[in-house]
Amino acid sequence: MPDSKKIILLEDDKASSRLLSMFLESKGYEVQESREGRFAIEMALRDTPDLMIVDVLLPDMHGSEAVKKLTATDRMHDLKVLFLTSLLSKSTEAGKVTRLKVGGKEYPALSKPFKPASLEKVVAEMLAGDN
């Protein structure tokens, strides 16, 4: 089990956010939820997460915009980010990990819907430094 790694979950759908948060907490992670990019940015700058899990479509900005703003700062330049999105579902097999390019960097992206085991595996690999 992980040693209480901090994850900020940026997901605008309340039910999805709650389910993901409960799942990750059951695996031993400390999870903070945000439904808007601006609040997730504030949280990340205040609490320095080990990982951010970010939905792409949000009510106040795209998830990629929030990531760009954060990684533009020295402290967050190497922030680990996993994108979750249904936008990939049409072109990518559901639950498959692909990559999204944001601000000149590539980040892993998991297409919705996905199996919890897929999420668990990707998160564990990213936090172990494998990604």
- Show the CA angle centred on residue 26, arms to residues 1 and 85, nearest 5°: 105
Instruction: Please state, in angstroms and rounded to a whole number, the distance separating the CA atoms of residues 115 and 88.
Output: 15
CATH of domain 6-127: 3.40.50.2300
Return the pLDDT at 1.
Answer: 46
Return the pLDDT at 90.
Answer: 54
> pLDDT per position in the chain (131 positions), as tens?
446 899 999 999 999 999 999 999 999 999 999 999 999 999 999 999 999 999 998 999 999 999 999 999 999 999 999 998 877 555 555 556 778 888 888 999 998 888 889 999 999 999 997 54
Exposure of 8 by Cβ count < 10 A (0-12 exposed, 13-18 middle, 19+ buried)? buried
Instruction: Please state, in angstroms and rounded to a whole number, the distance separating the CA atoms of residues 71 and 68.
Output: 5
Domain boundaries, the chain: 6-127
Return the pLDDT at 2.
Answer: 46
Return the pLDDT at 97.
Answer: 74
Say how far residue 13 (Cα) sits from the centre of its chain: 14
- Contact between 60 and 38 under an 8 Å Cβ cutoff? The reply is yes
Helices and strands (H and E) in the chain: how many: 4, 6
pTM over 0.85: yes
Phi, psi (degrees; rounded to nearest 5) at 32: -115, 135
